[in-house]
Structure 1
Amino acid sequence: MASSIAPLILFSFFISISSSLSQTLSKPKALILPVSKDATTLQYVTHIKMGTPLAKKNFAVDLGGQHFWMDCDDGQYVSSSFKQSLCGSAPCSVAKATCDGACFPGYNRPGCNKEKCHVNIDNTLIGGGFDVGFISLDKISIQSTEGSKYGPYVGISDFIFACANDRGVGNLARGANGMVGLGSNQIALPTQLSSAFGGSFRRNFAICLPSTSKSNGVIFFGDSPYVFYPGYNTSKVIDVSSRFQHTKLYINTAVTGSSVVTRGPPSPDYFVKVTSIMVNKKPIRVNSTLLEFKKTGKGGTKISTVEPYTKLETTIHRALVKAFDKEIAVWNVSKVAPVAPFTDCYTTGNMGMTILGIGVPDIAFVFENNKNLYWEMYGANSMVEMSRDVVCLAFLDAGDEPIITTPIVIGAHQLQDNLLQFDLASNRLAFTSTLLLEEVECSNFKF
């Protein structure tokens, strides 16, 4: 009986959200958030208006985060429309939350439905430290877009988020109040927005991260063209989706830490299947079994905004560096002492600057055994300039098994000035490779 009631609760809850929306503004096709780069932490931060009265709150962006959570301790959050959910309510069901007094399905002890429900918040910025967040509701306001500029704000009532305490908010960028999760589960931001606005609002989103802290990039939600202007002509517009290539998004198993090989819950992170890596269009030797998805949740390639730089399993990292050093030798460069966190640094030698960044051998991730389907990275995404004369390879050694679980984690530096669309309904990733080929940056959006 409980299993048949649960879907009805969820459906009724989202219908009530949609009704409140239709009373305030016609349903938009797409919404948009600005995203900035924090120069100190290298985190990506967005802001959303919340509460009554509406107040701007800042959030670190976690691409694979399963929750939208914030610090509500010590008067950090004050709103007359704020409310917390009780066990047995629709929001608690949507969030798959539990009750303080162990309110579990099929075991409704007396008084259980009067207790607040909570979820375990995973702060990925502090190595996966957990804290409890109480399921809460309030209104939020996000700007709409038709693809080339910002439009009017749209209000959403009874938006679900988790209220944490200040013990769980460590390592956030200065001024950030919490984290906005863009993962694939029910109360992450993309699914909540899609559910709230109904069938005309597609369950997808796209990120375009800026490469500098001096200007904003963008995050799109819903069905939108992606129109930017090239740096040489602010009056010209380019829909950069014309550059899209597509590959499958995989749902991987969350790693539980158990040595027993069991099928665990689905991970909220986004995974793709990289089958090889090329340097200057030449494949390097990689143990392909490392890249296969395992029942334990190990394997595959994850895309992350909380990892500043791409991390590679030790043997993969060694192979990449060896091939890169061989190809870069013709640039008349010399290796120099490592500069943390990087292990492989070089004098600039004969490297020149191009529209794609410093001129170095290109690196590409190849998908699904298709040599013609690859994500190519040039100097702007593969190197970091440490000084006028020294640059470092922005790929880090993550260690080997059993220390790591994911052999390739594509980090935020490699995502900068690339547009990535995550289609959750079709389990498909669309990616452009660098927009710099069109002389476009993620900051070239008309605010």
Structure 2
Amino acid sequence: MTAYINSQFKHSNFLIDIDAPLTWHDCIVKWNMYQGSCPDNVLCTSPVSCDEYICTEVQTSASYESPYCPRIKDTISSEGFCACTVNVNNPVDWPCNQALLNFDTFFVNTTNGRNPVPGFYAAFSNAACAPASSFQSFPANVTGVMAFSSSPYSLLTSLDQPPLKKTFSLCLPSTSAAPGIFFYGNGPYYLRPYSNVDVRSFLSYTPLLKHPGSFGYFIRVNSIEIKKRSIDIPGNATTKFSTIEPYTTLRTDIYNFVVRRFSLVTKRIPRSNPEAPFGLCFNTSTNGAKVGLKLPDIDFILQDGKKWSISTANSMKHIREDVACMAFVDGGATSEHAIVIGTFQFEDNFLLFDLENSNLGFSSSLLRKQTSCANYNFTMGSSTF
């Protein structure tokens, strides 16, 4: 929620980016925030002057850097004020945009872990205003990028207030018909039908790692195993999480192994012609009758021997009624990261990013626990206890 106007909240839709250094959205900066100065149906925020210390800090540490970005030039407003300009990255089609740094406020619901409860939480944050034209390539009605990275200017920093722990959890649904969940804070977390089972009891943990020059989140994958055969991942290879990539990408050498091995252990299943961006597809119907696919897990073997099992629900993408494809993509022979875990593999997996202890909690598929990310109770409760 991005504003509280006339005794009600204004809701906006944001694209979640767990790598972005800064939140930016469709708004305008106004030097004089007197009543009536903001046009109807436009969100106005207070600007940051180019003379302020925070301007230089954000421009040097959180502004998107690329040889394709224009050189940052501070903007002089019609009132003669100097506004702080920052470069931001459009993660949908990758052009560099220029936006004006502001002082922003975001409001979030509070919860007891079972359902929302009365009250809200105000997060005061630096963000940036970009023109509406910057979001033309975004999904319908999405007018911003919300940064949930480790950057000091992401929204997480603004939420980091006692007694909340610096922990966030993400649970993406497998259907657009239901909302997913983002939690910030200590827990507990409950999903129906388990009224008294904390989802944290389902989790295994592995260390979160840092990568130079990135505000994103990384883990160590030692090997990938399919039906007792595995490929070792080099010790210097990185595995990154992305809420921008729709499918997990694998460096070409790793991708080729996974496709060959998966193809071998599923050789009895009829093939379909590959359809971009996928390299291995299956026919899911025989003589007009739909056939259930019985496929092996693809196991990511992590540090300390922990195993993230990617089951059929997260390894196979149904692209038509009679065609399903292995939902991994060739990332190229020289990709910066050996593995980038994309959002299809997030679906119905509960991921807990414990930033205080630098750990990732992961559930593998919740469907095996007879629940899902769509099973949170969004009915407003009456108490915080």
TM-score after normalising by structure 2: 0.83
Does the CA contact (< 8 Å) of 2:74 and 2:82 recur in 1? Answer: no
SS in structure 1 opposite 2:19? Answer: coil
Question: For 1:201-224, what per-residue CA distance to the aligned partner results, in whole angstroms no more than 9, with x for missing partners?
Answer: 111100000000111110001111
Equivalent residue for 2:321, pick from 388, 400, 404: 388
Does the CA contact (< 8 Å) of 1:276 and 1:283 recur in 2? Answer: no
Displacement of 1:269: 1.1
Does the CA contact (< 8 Å) of 1:375 and 1:433 recur in 2? Answer: yes
Q: CA RMSD in A?
A: 2.7
**Equivalent-residue separation in structure 2 for 1:306 and 1:411 (angstroms):** 7
Displacement of 1:114: 5.7
Q: Which residue is equivalent to 1:339?
A: 275
Does the CA contact (< 8 Å) of 1:208 and 1:419 recur in 2? Answer: yes
Equivalent residue for 2:100, pick from 107, 123, 134: 134
Q: Which residue is equivalent to 2:374?
A: 443
Equivalent residue for 2:350, pick from 412, 419, 443: 419
Does the CA contact (< 8 Å) of 2:123 and 2:159 recur in 1? Answer: no
Q: Which residue is equivalent to 1:188?
A: 154
Does the CA contact (< 8 Å) of 2:27 and 2:43 recur in 1? Answer: no
Q: Which residue is equivalent to 2:312?
A: 379
Displacement of 1:138: 3.2
SS in structure 2 opposite 1:251? Answer: coil
Q: Which residue is equivalent to 2:331?
A: 398
Equivalent residue for 2:219, pick from 258, 272, 276: 272
List runs of 5+ in structure 2 lacking aligned partners.
29-37, 64-70, 379-385
Whether 2:339 is the aligned partner of 1:408: answer yes
Q: Name the amino acid aligned to 1:169.
A: F
**Equivalent-residue separation in structure 2 for 1:124 and 1:390 (angstroms):** 29
Displacement of 1:91: 4.8
**Equivalent-residue separation in structure 1 for 2:50 and 2:41 (angstroms):** 22
Q: Which has the higher helix share?
A: 1
Displacement of 1:200: 1.2
Query: Which has the higher mean CA deviation after the structures are superposed, 182-191 or 146-155?
Result: 146-155
Does the CA contact (< 8 Å) of 1:422 and 1:430 recur in 2? Answer: yes
Does the CA contact (< 8 Å) of 1:51 and 1:140 recur in 2? Answer: no
**Equivalent-residue separation in structure 2 for 1:79 and 1:349 (angstroms):** 50
Q: Which residue is equivalent to 2:10?
A: 55
Displacement of 1:199: 2.8
Q: Name the amino acid aligned to 2:225.
A: M
SS in structure 1 opposite 2:314? Answer: helix
Question: For 1:388-440, what per-residue CA distance to the aligned partner results, in whole angstroms no more than 9, with x for missing partners?
Answer: 33211001111111xx2111111100010001011122221111111111111
Whether 2:91 is the aligned partner of 1:124: answer yes
Does the CA contact (< 8 Å) of 1:169 and 1:178 recur in 2? Answer: yes
SS in structure 2 opposite 1:341? Answer: coil
List runs of 5+ in structure 1 lacking aligned partners.
1-47, 104-112, 255-266, 293-298
Percent sequence identity is 30
Q: Which residue is equivalent to 1:172?
A: 138
Question: For 1:126-170, what per-residue CA distance to the aligned partner results, in whole angstroms no more than 9, with x for missing partners?
Answer: 13x221221112332210011010112324264321111245334
**Equivalent-residue separation in structure 1 for 2:49 and 2:119 (angstroms):** 30
How does 1:127-166 map onto structure 2 within 5 Å? Answer: 127=94, 129-156=95-122, 158-166=124-132
**Equivalent-residue separation in structure 2 for 1:413 and 1:101 (angstroms):** 39
Q: Name the amino acid aligned to 2:298.
A: I
SS in structure 2 opposite 1:405? Answer: coil
Question: For 1:9-64, what per-residue CA distance to the aligned partner results, in whole angstroms no more than 9, with x for missing partners?
Answer: xxxxxxxxxxxxxxxxxxxxxxxxxxxxxxxxxxxxxxx24254531111111122
**Equivalent-residue separation in structure 2 for 1:312 and 1:153 (angstroms):** 43
Q: Name the amino acid aligned to 1:337.
A: N
Q: Name the amino acid aligned to 2:55.
A: C
Does the CA contact (< 8 Å) of 1:130 and 1:168 recur in 2? Answer: no
Q: Name the amino acid aligned to 1:152.
A: P
**Equivalent-residue separation in structure 2 for 1:343 and 1:317 (angstroms):** 10
Displacement of 1:381: 0.3
Does the CA contact (< 8 Å) of 2:92 and 2:137 recur in 1? Answer: yes
How does 1:37-436 map onto structure 2 within 5 Å? Answer: 48-50=1-3, 52-53=5-6, 54-72=9-27, 78-79=42-43, 82-89=45-52, 91-92=54-55, 95=58, 115-127=82-94, 129-156=95-122, 158-194=124-160, 198-230=161-193, 236-254=195-213, 267-280=214-227, 282-286=228-232, 288-289=233-234, 292=236, 299-329=237-267, 332-348=268-284, 353=292, 358-368=293-303, 370-371=304-305, 373-401=306-334, 404-436=335-367
Change (3 A) 1:349 1:139: closer
Question: For 1:49-80, what per-residue CA distance to the aligned partner results, in whole angstroms no more than 9, with x for missing partners?
Answer: 42545311111111222211102369696346
Change (3 A) 1:311 1:239: same
**Equivalent-residue separation in structure 2 for 1:322 and 1:307 (angstroms):** 23
SS in structure 1 opposite 2:320? Answer: coil
**Equivalent-residue separation in structure 1 for 2:59 and 2:23 (angstroms):** 14
